């Protein structure tokens, strides 16, 4: 299975490990995530972040070198969380169809548990510099490959018909990502139930001979 491994992911992962003991830095990332999700990256100023933390703007630069650093950290951390839960789903025993169901549930669980961060991940990543955008695109392609590989395995083990894994993965992920527009974690359906309902509609097309 494809693993996250771009330069951005590795650098951010190292930075996160180095900062895990810094409650102040964790507060900074949390507040920036909430503001970017609510106000948008471009409309959120460093001063606004500092005001929310109750500190001077200049004090933020003891933790970050730029506002874009915060955006990159949030986006890569979200990508890493999708990878982490997908890795766990891929480790489960069962047919490819069962693994795909686990992947869908894992994906929905991130969307449910990390709503603000996912909103930033989906809507604000294009505000990154072109170089960092390319790194995020590479991460997304690696993540999509997990779904394509699972569908290919389903074709091989007879779970699925002779579908194109590219289009199959695209349909599944598009349906799941669309739920970020309307899913309410406190609604009547759990994230797992939504994932199952989505996949139940898609499966007949994947199984078609």
- Mean residue pLDDT of the chain comes to 88
* pTM recorded for the entire structure: 0.85
Burial class (CB in 10 A: 0-12, 13-18, 19+), 147: buried
In a domain, 74, yes or no: yes
C-alpha to C-alpha distances, 29 to 53, 89, 113, nearest whole angstrom: 11, 27, 16
Residue ranges of the alpha helices (H) in 91-129? 96-113, 115-123
Query: pLDDT-derived band of residue 87, with 50, 70 and 90 as boundaries?
Result: very high
**Residue 32 within any structural domain of the chain:** yes
- What pLDDT does 1 receive? 43
- Give the model's confidence band at 99: pLDDT under 50 very low, under 70 low, under 90 confident, else very high: very high
Q: What is the CATH number of the domain that holds 120?
A: 1.10.357.10
- Determine the structural domain holding residue 193 and report its residue range: 7-207
Q: Which residue has the tokens 């999708």?
A: 82
Q: Dihedral of the CA atoms 12, 15, 21, 22 (nearest 10)? A: -90
- How many structural domains is the chain composed of? 1
**Token duo for residue 101:** 């169901």
Residue written as token pair 């990332």: 29
In a domain, 71, yes or no: yes
């Amino acid at each position: 299975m494809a693993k996250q491994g771009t330069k951005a992911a590795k650098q951010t992962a190292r930075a996160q490990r180095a900062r895990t003991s810094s409650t102040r830095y964790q507060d900074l990332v949390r507040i920036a995530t909430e503001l970017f999700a609510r106000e948008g990256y471009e409309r959120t100023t460093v001063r606004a972040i500092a005001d929310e933390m109750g500190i001077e703007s200049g004090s933020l630069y003891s933790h970050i070198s730029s506002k874009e650093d915060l955006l990159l950290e949030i986006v890569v951390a979200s990508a890493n969380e999708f990878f982490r839960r997908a890795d766990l789903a891929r480790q489960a025993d069962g047919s490819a169809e069962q693994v795909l169901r686990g992947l869908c549930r894992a994906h929905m669980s991130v969307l449910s548990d990390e709503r603000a961060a996912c909103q930033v991940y989906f809507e604000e990543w294009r505000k990154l510099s072109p170089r960092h955008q390319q790194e995020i695109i590479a991460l997304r392609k690696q993540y999509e490959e997990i779904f394509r590989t699972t569908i290919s395995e389903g074709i091989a083990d007879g779970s699925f018909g002779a579908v194109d894994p590219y289009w199959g993965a695209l349909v599944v992920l598009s349906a799941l990502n669309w739920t970020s527009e309307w899913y309410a974690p406190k609604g009547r359906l759990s994230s797992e139930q939504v994932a199952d309902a989505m996949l139940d509609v898609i499966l007949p097309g994947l199984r078609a001979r």
